[in-house]
Chain A
Amino acid sequence: MDHSTADKGVSRRGFFQLTLGWLAAIFAACASAVGAVRFLVPNVLFEPSLLFKAGKPEDYPDGSVTFLEEERVFLVRQGNTFRCLSAICTHLGCTVNRTGQGYHCPCHGSLFDDQGSVKSGPAPRSLEWFSVTLSKDSRVLVDKSQRVNPDKYLVL
């Protein structure tokens, strides 16, 4: 590292300075890389929110299954319980239709029962249930980022 003719090696002070300098420079480079990656991670999304209000409980008659088009879910009311079922087929992502007592996917014919379980067809998994709660302003609050078991529902 030193001058070629009089190679006496690095002094202790020089050793310390070099080490510290390199460590600092490499640390700065790594911190910059981390910063650059953090920069690229979005803090807000410009998509429809996964957490949304679906109106007042009164808007959903007893025994109804209501398809919410933009959010692609079904809101199911029975008595005073509310549940939310994903309308996205687990096969390849088409939107399923409500039929009689179940759901049917028009793309490849998967059939799901009332609980979202697969009755027949190529779908590998049952439809997902999402968390339903009551918001602070008494609206039905659906959180598509929270998957729940079918036995969990909102009770008024």
Chain B
Amino acid sequence: MNAPLPKQIWKWFERTRVGRSIFRVGLPQSNLERAQAMVSSFLLHIQPAKVNRYSLRASYSLGLGLISLYLFLILIGTGVLLMFYYVPSTDHAYNVMKDLQFVVSAGLLMRNMHRWAAHLMVIFVLLHMCRVFYTGAYKRPREFNWVLGVGLFLLTLGLSFTGYLLPWDQLAFWAITVGTNIAAYAPYIGSNLKYLLLGGNVVGQEALIRFYALHVIVLPAVAGLMIAVHLWRVRKDGGLSRPDEPGDIVQQVALSQLPTSKTYGLMELARGTTPQVGRNPEDEVFAWPHLLFRELLLFLLVVAAVLFLAIFWNAPLEEPANAIHPPNPAKAPWYFLGLQELVSYSAFWGGVVVPGVLVMALVLLPYIDRKRKGVGRWFARERAVANTIFTVCLVILVVLTIIGSLFRGPNWSWQEPWKKAPAATEGH
């Protein structure tokens, strides 16, 4: 018997009465059983039973989408735990932050994990979007999934922004003051949007409780739902994009005319588009174990990274929020600094038009760029123009963000970070 010990223990358990009552399908012994397990399990069935070898390559997708998902899960886990202590009141929130650091076991660790996972998620969702763009994976039939992705990106920013206010320190208060003021520049809806977000005209108790409600239930629920649809669409659109994809990777199928299906159960006999089988050379392997094991490894890696950051670097906490003492300059959260820099040039063009056009461009992208060439490969020659435009926009955004964070001092004046003047002395 050369199965590893954990497997032996497990096999013993699943033969017991209790084990059989919980797990309807035991540990698969054959490939048929492996495919069956994928399809008949609640937790696993959003993934395919078989997956193309090409999609498994780390160098192709870099696992960026999975990393984003894992970060989201870590945020939910740490977030729910933090909810047992956090009080969304302007009198209590800051003190809770201090208590987490000083008297709650693993309080600081939990808060750090939450904060770093949040920052990483913004970064990795953006990187995932770049990967999908550079591999042309937004093209037909995956247009709508790309739109869902843009929505998820905006939700990620929204989640980070609403969470940013909750510590109720100077950093939080003024970042949200700046952020909501930028939102107010939008024509017609801007000031109403700000009024609705803040529950009033100032950043105060009403704003805090609204941001809290958005942050812990509304946005996560919407994001969770959209993530589920997003993953479902990956399945239904034929898996991750590949260079050897046939042009008609999906087809309309009526219930009566199903060809030899690769499914083993009723759930895939749905009307609508479905991946075709039996018409192209297949290069697939079973998701169990090849996809699942890689996913497990990646999960461990992400958890290790977040833990490492959380153990050695602390989430910031400044003085308690004080409406009378604005820092100079007051800065939005880092992912909005590029936007704040643009706003400093022109509130309307920089704050409304440019971001609005960019978001619209992203959303409409797959419906504008209909050429099918170059899908499934990084930096395909045929897509040089599109890739160049995207890269230029990306680089400009990154540069603006760097300028906003490092090169702007009091009154948003230019300053060189290596020659930073000492902080404005207030007598301390």
Chain A interface residues toward B at CB < 8 A: 1, 4, 9-10, 15, 18-19, 22-23, 25-26, 28, 35-36, 38-44
The 4 closest A-B pairs by CB, nearest first: A22-B6, A18-B4, A19-B4, A9-B2
Chain A residues near B105 (CB-CB < 8 A): 38-39, 41, 43
Supplied contacts A39-B107, A39-B110, A40-B84, 11 more A-B pairs, CB within 8 Å: A4-B286, A9-B2, A10-B4, A19-B6, A22-B4, A25-B296, A28-B303, A35-B106, A38-B105, A38-B106, A43-B103
B31 at the interface (CB under 8 A from A): yes
Chain B residues near A15 (CB-CB < 8 A): 2, 4
Chain A residues near B103 (CB-CB < 8 A): 43-44
Bound-state CA distance A88–B328 (Å) is 57
Instruction: Establish whether residues A39 and B104, one from each chain, have CB atoms under 8 Å apart when the complex forms.
Output: yes
Assuming the A-B contacts A1-B289, A4-B286, A44-B103, are A39 and B81 also in contact, with contact meaning beta carbons closer than 8 angstroms in the complex? yes
**B35 CB to nearest chain A CB (Å):** 11
B371 at the interface (CB under 8 A from A): no
What mask results when residues 220 to 233 of chain B are scored 1 for a CB within 8 Å of chain A, else 0? 00000000000000
Chain B residues near A40 (CB-CB < 8 A): 81, 84
Which residue on chain A has the smallest CB distance to residue B106?
A39
Assuming the A-B contacts A10-B2, A15-B2, A44-B103, are A36 and B81 also in contact, with contact meaning beta carbons closer than 8 angstroms in the complex? yes
Interface pairs (14), CB distance under 8 Å: A1-B3, A1-B289, A9-B2, A10-B2, A18-B4, A18-B6, A22-B6, A25-B300, A36-B81, A38-B105, A39-B81, A39-B110, A41-B105, A44-B103
Which residue on chain B has the smallest CB distance to residue A10?
B2
**B92 CB to nearest chain A CB (Å):** 10
Bound-state CA distance A39–B85 (Å) is 10
Chain A residues near B289 (CB-CB < 8 A): 1
Chain B residues near A35 (CB-CB < 8 A): 106
**B86 CB to nearest chain A CB (Å):** 13
Residues facing A in B188-223 (CB within 8 A) are: none
Which residue on chain A has the smallest CB distance to residue B289?
A1
Instruction: Establish whether residues B84 and A10, one from each chain, have CB atoms under 8 Å apart when the complex forms.
Output: no
Q: Which of A1, A39, A42 contacts B7 (CB 8 A)?
A: A1
Bound-state CA distance A43–B99 (Å) is 10
Bound-state CA distance A92–B6 (Å) is 52
B255 at the interface (CB under 8 A from A): no
Residues facing A in B74-98 (CB within 8 A) are: 81, 84
Bound-state CA distance A35–B143 (Å) is 43
Residues facing A in B271-312 (CB within 8 A) are: 286, 289, 296, 300, 303
Bound-state CA distance A4–B104 (Å) is 50
**A8 CB to nearest chain B CB (Å):** 10
Chain A residues near B5 (CB-CB < 8 A): 19
**A44 CB to nearest chain B CB (Å):** 5
Chain B residues near A28 (CB-CB < 8 A): 303
Which residue on chain B has the smallest CB distance to residue A20?
B4
Chain A residues near B84 (CB-CB < 8 A): 40
Which residue on chain A has the smallest CB distance to residue B28?
A1
Assuming the A-B contacts A9-B2, A10-B4, A23-B6, are A4 and B107 also in contact, with contact meaning beta carbons closer than 8 angstroms in the complex? no
Chain A residues near B81 (CB-CB < 8 A): 36, 39-40
Assuming the A-B contacts A4-B31, A25-B300, are A43 and B104 also in contact, with contact meaning beta carbons closer than 8 angstroms in the complex? yes
Bound-state CA distance A40–B263 (Å) is 45
Residues facing A in B89-128 (CB within 8 A) are: 99, 103-107, 110
Bound-state CA distance A40–B104 (Å) is 8
Bound-state CA distance A22–B5 (Å) is 9
Bound-state CA distance A44–B106 (Å) is 14
Residues facing A in B1-55 (CB within 8 A) are: 2-7, 31
Chain A residues near B3 (CB-CB < 8 A): 1, 10
**A38 CB to nearest chain B CB (Å):** 5
Bound-state CA distance A22–B84 (Å) is 31
**B157 CB to nearest chain A CB (Å):** 28
Bound-state CA distance A26–B5 (Å) is 13
**A48 CB to nearest chain B CB (Å):** 18
Which residue on chain B has the smallest CB distance to residue A38?
B105
Bound-state CA distance A31–B296 (Å) is 18
**A42 CB to nearest chain B CB (Å):** 8
Which residue on chain A has the smallest CB distance to residue B80?
A36
Chain A residues near B31 (CB-CB < 8 A): 4
Chain A residues near B303 (CB-CB < 8 A): 28
Bound-state CA distance A28–B3 (Å) is 22
Bound-state CA distance A9–B6 (Å) is 15
**A156 CB to nearest chain B CB (Å):** 36
Bound-state CA distance A43–B103 (Å) is 6
Chain A residues near B7 (CB-CB < 8 A): 1
Chain A residues near B106 (CB-CB < 8 A): 35, 38-39
